[in-house]
Amino acid sequence: MKFVSIVMGSKSDYTIMEESAKTLEKFGVPYEMIISSAHRSPERTKNYIKEAEEKGTQVFIAAAGMAAHLAGALAASTIKPVLGVPMESGPLRGEDALLSTVMMPGGMPVGTVAIGKAGAVNAAYLAIQIMALQDDELKVKLQEDRISKAKKVELDSSEIETIL
């Protein structure tokens, strides 16, 4: 089975990363979600990557705050795409997580999205887009979603437009 793997550095990330899960569910994309820390449980993280690949993960989404090395730890151990979601936490409110997620050495890419909820949603969309490269049904669902979003903008506008 092909699926997306969501890995969070701590339980406190769940309320934000639940948005990734909801987005994947909306498109019918299977996922699994675990907590594993690059620092506090490095062996668990490394073992999980191998297990997830054997089970069929296509894309990893990694969420962490503060030092945020989780996405980099995953990227170092897989050739599957890794999407990093910086969490808004600590005194820098996620800016440190953003920088440590995006500043990967050449040849070890992590696709990095926005801090927090918007990033969690966009990471799921990117995972779906990656999977849609080989799945025509997902491609159609993404196209329909874009059309729906465009129609919503027009509807919202028509509700506030006034004729002068």
The tens digit of pLDDT for each residue in 29-88 reads 999 999 999 999 999 999 999 999 999 999 999 999 987 789 999 999 999 999 999 999
Question: Token pair of 161, please?
Answer: 């437009």
Q: Is residue 164's pLDDT more than 60?
A: no
Average pLDDT over residues 2-23: 97
The rounded radius of gyration (Å) of the Cα atoms in the chain is 17
- Report pLDDT digits (tens) over 88-113: 988 889 999 999 999 999 999 999 99
Phi, psi (rounded to 5 degrees) for 57: -60, 140
Assign 28 a pLDDT band (cuts: 50, 70, 90).
Answer: very high
pLDDT of residue 118: 97
Whole-number pLDDT of residue 67: 76
Residue 100 labeled ligand binder: no
Is 40 annotated to bind a ligand? Reply is yes
Distances in Å between the Cα of 130 and the Cα atoms of 4, 48, 64 are 10, 21, 22
The answer, yes or no, to whether residue 163 has pLDDT greater than 80, is no
Per-residue tokens: 99: 């920088």
What is the reported pLDDT for 96? Answer: 92
CATH 3.40.50.1970 applies to domain 3-135: yes
Which of 32, 30, 54, 45 minimizes the C-alpha distance to 131?
A: 30
Residues 135-151 have a mean pLDDT of 97
